[in-house]
Amino acid sequence: MINRVYNFSAGPSMLPLEVLKRVQSKLLDYEGSGMSVMEMSHRSKYYDAINNEAESLLRELMHVPDNYDIIFVQGGASMQFEAIPLNIHVNGKADYILSGNFSTKSYKEAKKFTDARAAASSEDKNFTYIPETTVDSFRPDADYVHICYNNTIYGTRFTKLPETPAGVPLVGDVSSNILSQEIDVSKFGVLYGGAQKNVAPAGVTVVIVRKDLQDKWSDICPTMLKWSTQIAQKSLYNTPPCWSTYVAMEVFRYLKEIGGVPAMQKINEEKAKILYDYLDESKFFVNKVNKKDRSLMNVPFFSPSAELDAKFIAEAAKEGLVTLKGHKLVGGMRASIYNAMPIEGVKKLVAFMKKFEVENG
């Protein structure tokens, strides 16, 4: 008997059990090819069909308009921190909202290639809220405004998108909330995200680019970082992350079957409510995030002491509730409740938290 745990890792994270079973059934012989997707050429008819279906399904699930292209690339979201200022480089200016670790990292990378400016920041309160902005917060001649839509480490998210000056595109890192909630793609010039939280195993990165932004690159933009390179070749300029893209396709199929992103969002809101409701009534555990900015995906929480945090993490693991240790920048605990985390996993976590509170409070 396979002993499956509830894995609350911030990434790589759980995959839907139904998808894992499908992948397992096709592992040695994919669709009569006599080989695994891990073995086949990316120029084969089998992989060409995978690549096309993955793009088509993602376009359908996210309602991506026709004036946007979708590519599947390597390097993680972190490589896009450099690709963005090199691909959108007109006036050599970019404004960033610093709401956590990854938005700060992307800002620091952009400073190497453009006049990047921190237009707003929540660092003053350890990124426990989303900074307020108005259209006047941004330069009217900025090449773009960048946000990290959901903050994995600090457990915050944008519930209202910033308004940018006319003609200034919004760029969004959606690594930890893609397909977890409805996102209006038309509000963005570019969306990008690593797959290892809600989409697939680590290795593939999704980039969605509006067509009018595909010829704005800097002269020093490397060929492999240039979006137009992969767009022209349908993500097949070089050997792509075939396996991760294949699993992404199976995840997209699964999401479509259960009702798409609206159905998934409803489940995610229910999961988050169960956990936040308990944290709000607890006299022992605390969540420090501004309530209106709370993430649906990542929930950091703390006991009264570091010693009790360590005890909680160790005892939870014995109950099959694993990878609950908070990020080193924050400490405490963190429950990442991405799409594949079932409601039962969150209920079991809350039941254990209640028991731990009674025994240690």
Question: 181 by DSSP, 3-state: which?
Answer: coil
CB 143 within 8 A of CB 90: yes
Per-residue pLDDT of 55-91, as tens digits, reads: 999 999 999 999 999 999 999 999 999 999 999 999 9
Question: 292 by DSSP, 3-state: which?
Answer: helix
d(CA 30, CA 41): 13
d(CA 113, CA 4): 45
CB 35 within 8 A of CB 29: yes
For residues 304-333, average pLDDT: 97
Percent of the chain with pLDDT strictly greater than 90: 99
Residues 6 or more apart in contact with residue 2 via CB below 8 angstroms: none
Per-residue pLDDT of 169-219, as tens digits, reads: 999 999 999 999 999 999 999 999 999 999 999 999 999 999 999 999 999
d(CA 121, CA 132): 9
Domains of the chain: 6-17+259-360 (3.90.1150.10), 18-257 (3.40.640.10)
**Burial track 247-258 (b if 16+ CB lie within 10 A, e otherwise):** bbbbbbbbbeee
Q: Tell the burial category of 27 from Cβ atoms under 10 Å away from its Cβ (0-12, 13-18, 19+).
A: exposed
Question: 178 by DSSP, 3-state: which?
Answer: coil
pTM of the model: 0.96
Per-residue pLDDT of 120-166, as tens digits, reads: 999 999 999 999 999 999 999 999 999 999 999 999 999 999 999 99
Show the tokens assigned to 89. 């480089």
pLDDT-derived band at 1, boundaries 50, 70, 90: low
For residues 92-109, average pLDDT: 98
DSSP 234: T
Is the pLDDT reported for residue 2 higher than 80? no
For residues 326-339, average pLDDT: 96
Show the tokens assigned to 37. 């997707």
End-to-end CA distance of the chain: give it in Å, rounded: 36
User: What pLDDT score was predicted for residue 71?
Assistant: 98
